[in-house]
Copies of this chain bind each other. A is one copy, B any other.
Amino acid sequence: MSLIVQKFGGTSVASVGHIEAVADKVARFRGEGHDIVVVLSAMAGETNRLVALAHEIMEQPTPREMDVLLSTGEQVSVSLLCMALERRGCGARSFTGGQVRILTDESHTRARIREVDSTRLHAQLEQGNVVVVAGFQGVTENGCITTLGRGGSDTTAVALAAALEADECQIYTDVKGVYTTDPRMVDGARLLRHITFEEMLELASLGARVLQIRAVEFAGKYKVPLRVLSTFEEGPGTLITLEEEEMETPAIAGVAFERDEAKLTVKGVPDVPGVAYKVIGAVSEQGIEVDVIVQNAAAEGSNDITFTVKRGDAERTRQILEQVMPSVSAQSVELDTKIAKVSLVGVGMRSHAGIASRMFKALAGENINIQIITTSEIKISVVIEEKYLELAVRALHGAFELEKHQSGEAET
């Protein structure tokens, strides 16, 4: 018998019918003798409905009151699931974040968890009840309601799993787990049985989004075994764990990609200290997130600074750069919105030589020109022309034989 934390997102509790299906699943696990803590999001659409009400009143709603408003969404979900469990003869008790006492800092609408009191939850589990906790929310020292920001329910689940020393934290979503790449793009995309926290972080931030990055970081920090799996289909999902020494790690976990980017180049800036800061600083000060940054020496004493931003921010970024140009003596600003980013991710990369050259060879074999290359310990990213994206992903997936089971990977 183990203690399992199960988190169901908004689409898993979108209607009373969906909630009934979740109740069936939870009751079955409980029937197998496990202690179960469930974390729920608001019913799909509910948070948007509440946000719209607030925006009818003011453009920038008071953060403290926004949290009071939004936290009702999860409160509705947990009460309904408890009723559905009770109807199945499965004892259940709901808790808001404040009732558990999920203590957070005072940053309303994006609070961070400081401490979780597991006393009341343990007491309910000992009485044989399923505990159903409203995700996404907490409470300050002063008893004010806070929320953790969108997707914060994943973080709630991991924090509870850590506090309760759960055997596993299961995140139920609308996908079967983490794949080697997007299965809609590559037929041979394979469901990964295992992935490390570090790989998951790189894959998540690169577009294969199934989990909140904060939740993955949190799980890694507290060594909580995290499993991503489907609410709607049976299957083992993907287990996200620490890198295990005894397991021979495959070189590559997956191919991630990002379509929604634009590339900006500030040309001919003088090769003196502080220029990159002036350029990038001007952009990020406006709240624009900068992704890949590279600097190439163009001519003697002159540099080009190239970076990517979300495509929606591209035009605004260009305007900012044109204002900055005189102060950094730049020659010109160029914008290219027809680009995409493709990345290979894998902790095994560290011990496998020649991954980069194999990657570049595969792209060259398809006549795909590489515009930018950036590398980290467990990731190699390239920026290419957007029209080659699918071709590049398929070529890399094939070149690294990701459709086949890797060494160290259990059979499904």
Interface positions of A (Cβ within 8 A of B): 16, 19-20, 50, 53-54, 56-58, 61-62, 64-66, 68-69, 71-72, 75-76, 78-80, 82-84, 86-87, 92-94, 96, 98-99, 120, 143-145
Contact = CB atoms under 8 A, between A and B. Distances in A.
B69 A57 contact: no
A28 to B, nearest CB: 18
Given A65-B94, A94-B68, A143-B99, A58 B83 contact: yes
B72 A87 contact: no
Contact of A58 (B58, B86, B92, B93): B86
Given A62-B86, A98-B98, A53 B69 contact: no
Given A16-B57, A57-B87, A99-B143, A68 B79 contact: yes
Q: Give me the 3 closest cross-chain CB pairs, A-B, nearest first.
A: A72-B72, A69-B79, A68-B79
Given A20-B57, A56-B16, A62 B83 contact: yes
Name, among A19, A50, A143, the residue most crowded by chain B CB atoms within 10 Å (CB to CB): A143
B83 A61 contact: yes
Contacts of A64: 82, 93-94
Nearest to A101: B143
Given A65-B82, A68-B79, A68-B82, 16 more contacts: A19-B57, A20-B57, A53-B76, A57-B80, A57-B83, A57-B84, A58-B84, A58-B86, A64-B82, A64-B94, A66-B83, A69-B76, A71-B75, A72-B76, A99-B143, A99-B145
A82 B62 contact: yes
A181 B84 CA distance: 47
Nearest to A68: B79
Given A16-B53, A16-B56, A56-B16, A69 B80 contact: yes
- Residue of A58, A65, A76, A80 with highest tally of chain B CB at under 10 A: A65
Contacts of A76: 50, 53, 69, 72
Most-contacted residue by chain B among A58, A68, A98 (CB, 10 A):
A68
A64 B75 CA distance: 13
A50 B80 CA distance: 10
Contacts of A50: 76
A58 B79 CA distance: 12
Nearest to A77: B69
A94 B94 CA distance: 23
Chain B CB count within 10 A is highest, among A83, A86, A144, A145, for A83
Given A16-B57, A72-B72, A79 B66 contact: yes
B72 A75 contact: yes
A53 B80 contact: yes
A79 B108 CA distance: 13
Contacts of A84: 57-58
Contacts of A92: 65
21 contacts: A16-B53, A53-B76, A57-B83, A58-B83, A58-B84, A61-B83, A64-B93, A65-B83, A65-B94, A66-B79, A66-B83, A68-B78, A68-B82, A68-B94, A69-B76, A69-B79, A69-B80, A71-B75, A98-B98, A99-B144, A99-B145
